[in-house]
A and B are shown apart, each in its own frame.
Chain A
Amino acid sequence: MFKTYKAQAWLLLAPALILLVAFTYLPIGNTIWRSVFGFGVQMGNQASPENYARLLDDPVFWQVLKNSALYALITVPASIFFALSMALWVNGKIAGTGFMRLSFFTPTMLPMISVANIWLLFYSSEIGLFNAVLGWFGVSGVNWLGNPDTALYSLMTMTIWKEAGFFMIFYLAALQTISPDLYKAAKTENASSLYIFRRITFPLLMPTTLFVFVNALLNSFKLIDHLFILTKGGPNNATNLLLYYIYENSFSFFDTAYASALTVILLLILIVMALIQFGVIERRVHY
């Protein structure tokens, strides 16, 4: 009986494992192999284990890496901050929480591609909405997406707008599980709302924050849809992100070998992040 059970376990797991191997683990192996021994379609038929040397030598790669890091460093905390604020508001007793919840959550429902088109008009420098509004204050001609100094931040703004509402939901769920008695007790002791937030709400939300943090971080690396509409990584790579650069190399330049080397870098980043998550942070979270 026990033996058949074991066999059954593997049978039940088989579909998932086969798919997982076929579309995650085998590809990881192939990526590594190709990044070392592979050659792009156009490289001639000689294996060129020089992909990593090229990587170190490629100023665009370093720029892209820097962009990706900055992008994560800003969008992740900002999304979390907005998500938490929104959740607190919507969970509170302000008038119109229904409308607020709807409006915060709507961006999540819309495809990135569609909203990028709308934001493109907002950012457009001569006819765009943002500059029209700034025009009332006598400022003009900000080239949001065209100026390398502002382009990446413009993309970040849109990303935060898109993401915050999604994470708000998770905070909202967590907030509703916090027992009202805790707050009542704090109130009787005349604690300030800031104190309550710092000592009760925030610590109890820690697991959610961790979950949101990991997801936001992952999204900051994998969500690049808006680049296709807004900037295509330009101007002069100011908004090029790692995954978009991989796409460009593989599907525009047909250089799969170099794209594989770049993918290995991305995998390394993700694995390090996973290790940090499982190792360091997990221990600090109080369940």
Chain B
Amino acid sequence: MRTNIKKLLTLGAIGLSFSALVQAKTELTMYYPVSVGGALTKVVDSIVDDFEQENPDIDVKAIYAGNYNDARVKALAALNSGQPAQLSVMFSIDVHELMDLDAIVPFDDVISTSADRQWLKSFHPALMENGIVNDKTYGIPFQRSTIVMYYNKDLFRAAGLDPEKAPSNWQELVEMGKKLTKKDSNGNVTQWGAMIPSTGYPYWMFGALTKEKGHKLMNQAGNKTYFDDPKAIAALEFWKDLGNKHQVMPKGMIEWGTLRQNFLEEKTAIMWHSTGNLTAVKKAANFDFGVAMLPADEERGSPTGGGNFYLFKNATTEEKQAALKLVKFMTSPKQAAKWSIETGYMGVSPAAYQTKELANYVESFPPAAIARDQLKYATAELSTHQSGRVRKLLDDAIQSVLNGQQDAKQALTSAQKQADRILSRYR
């Protein structure tokens, strides 16, 4: 009898430990967006594979969900309908909205050791600006970018300009732009001096222009915007003037999506675009091109951009720990270096640039360091409560001005008024 019980107990113990073994495999589901060119999904998959090899007890399902908006919608949809999602890469500027929806937890609540706390401080500070709210870190930088200026050195040479000297301020941008703009015998433009995209993410480009004017578009708490400041108005007027007055840029809208193609087909000598496009441009350009920081007006500047890692609230403690492990792995210097080389996105920490791989790469291809060097002039990207709606207000205002439907002051004042109405309840 007694032995029987003993046997049963041992059996049970074995069974328990066995099932524990099986259960120990933590499953993680992660949604992520891609918003620039190239087969980035392959790169993510390969990093995730490396992670799984190192951590056989964790299973990661990485789901490509489209653009930033799609990724956010899909991740939240999964949470709403009871499907698993423990972490996601989402727009760095979604942080206030995600907090309002009570969907995410700060990393501070999940980490425990002092080494972890050190890890939180290991990233470029400018990249943390959009991720920290009330002194807590909600977003860890992953696919992060700034806007940089791509320029076609061959066309610079052809126009009699020094190919090593990109325009360093607004005035030079206009002057060089005029030299780079070419017309045919009918007076039609065959080659433009510059293009700044005004669809897709116009507020982002506007963030660069306003920063260069020495102005920020919102406060850190994300409940106040400053769209109607004279500096913002001047920045928008300059943008419009590039097309209308100086005629170095096409009037009206410039497509975000087709801009790279325009640059590659030498329809424009200069384009402002995400550094995340760097590798795609490098692979496809059959001319000599350079990358430079955006030109300064009162100062240099660009908003940061791109996606951060977020942890979801409803994950179990174990899942959160596993998710933390994954985030740490994917942002580790070695992986960050690989990611940066493959895509053009920034190495998210100074340590990433000290790895042999990225150091060598930067040496052989200096444009890869521009985005990092520009970080010291960078500012946070427009991020507020109800950011989707507020962003649309600004986007619409910018587009209406560039299309000549309203003047800058009128459009930005009205956008500010509407933003105030939305944000007043968060103050």
Contact = CB atoms under 8 A, between A and B. Distances in A.
Given A126-B262, A138-B188, A236-B396, A41 B101 contact: yes
A143 B100 contact: no
Contacts of B400: 235-236
Bin the interface of chain B by size.
Answer: 35 or more
A252 B186 CA distance: 45
A236 B405 contact: yes
Contacts of B403: 146-148, 235-236
Contacts of A253: 386, 388-389, 392
Nearest to B185: A138
A252 B388 contact: yes
A234 B389 CA distance: 14
B31 to A, nearest CB: 15
B253 interface: yes
Interface string A241-256: 0000000100111110
Interface in A190-249: 231-232, 234-237, 248
B26 interface: no
Nearest to B386: A42
Q: How large is the interface on A (under 10, 10 to 19, 20 to 34, 35 or more residues)?
A: 20 to 34
- Chain A CB within 10 Å, residue with most, of B251, B252, B267, B400: B252
A126 B197 CA distance: 13
A234 B399 contact: yes
* Interface residues of A, dominant DSSP: loop
A126 B252 contact: no
A27 interface: no
Interface string B242-281: 0000000011111101100110010110000000000000
A29 interface: no
B199 A127 contact: no
A140 interface: yes
A49 interface: no
Interface string A40-52: 0110100000000
A137 B35 CA distance: 37
Contacts of B338: none
A140 B267 contact: no
B389 A147 contact: no
Interface of B: 69, 73, 76, 97, 100-101, 186, 188-189, 192, 198-199, 250-255, 257-258, 261-262, 265, 267-268, 385-386, 388-389, 392, 395-396, 399-400, 402-403, 405, 425
Given A41-B100, A126-B267, A254-B101, 11 more contacts: A60-B396, A124-B261, A135-B188, A141-B189, A141-B250, A148-B403, A232-B199, A248-B392, A252-B69, A253-B389, A254-B76
